[in-house]
Amino acid sequence: MRALFDACIKKYPGMGHYLDEDAAIVHSPVFESAMIKITSSRTLSGPELKTLEPFRVSTGEGTQEVAPAADFASEVLRQAKKPRRAQRTMVDYNALLCGGPHGPLLTTMLYLA
């Protein structure tokens, strides 16, 4: 990951403020730690569970759980091929896989809540 960040900084020097090794861009270290553990399928600590509680959703009856895509772009493209459903289908913490606390899907989810 560091190699990708360094390449971005080399090509776009203005990104250094956000991507340098010492960049202070993490607003909630506990939230970030929880996100990393979720994507790695690791067990969350007590503080991490508490931080993520507002984002927890239960799967309702009749919902279908879809296997996660290999990456964000694949997920977006796969969803674009499906017809829209009348009701939302939520999977526990699935929206958090799309990015940090300011990710577009999470922002939309909070707006709709």
pLDDT (tens digit per residue) in 50-100: 998 888 887 666 556 666 556 777 777 777 665 655 555 555 665 555 555
Residue 17 within a domain: no
pLDDT (tens digit per residue) in 7-57: 888 999 998 888 887 777 777 888 888 888 888 888 899 999 999 888 888
- From residue 79, alpha-carbon distances to 22, 64, 113 in Å are 36, 13, 20
Residue 7 within a domain: no
Residue 77 within a domain: yes
Residue 22 within a domain: no
Domain that holds residue 43: 28-112
The model's pTM:
0.38
The number of beta carbons lying within 10 Å of the beta carbon of residue 73 is: 9
Query: What is the residue type of 60?
Result: G
Residue 8 within a domain: no
Q: Please identify which residue in the block is written with the tokens 């577009």.
A: 104
Residue 96 within a domain: yes
Residue 19 within a domain: no
Nearest-5° Cα angle at 35, 4 to 55: 140
| Number of compact structural domains in the chain | 1
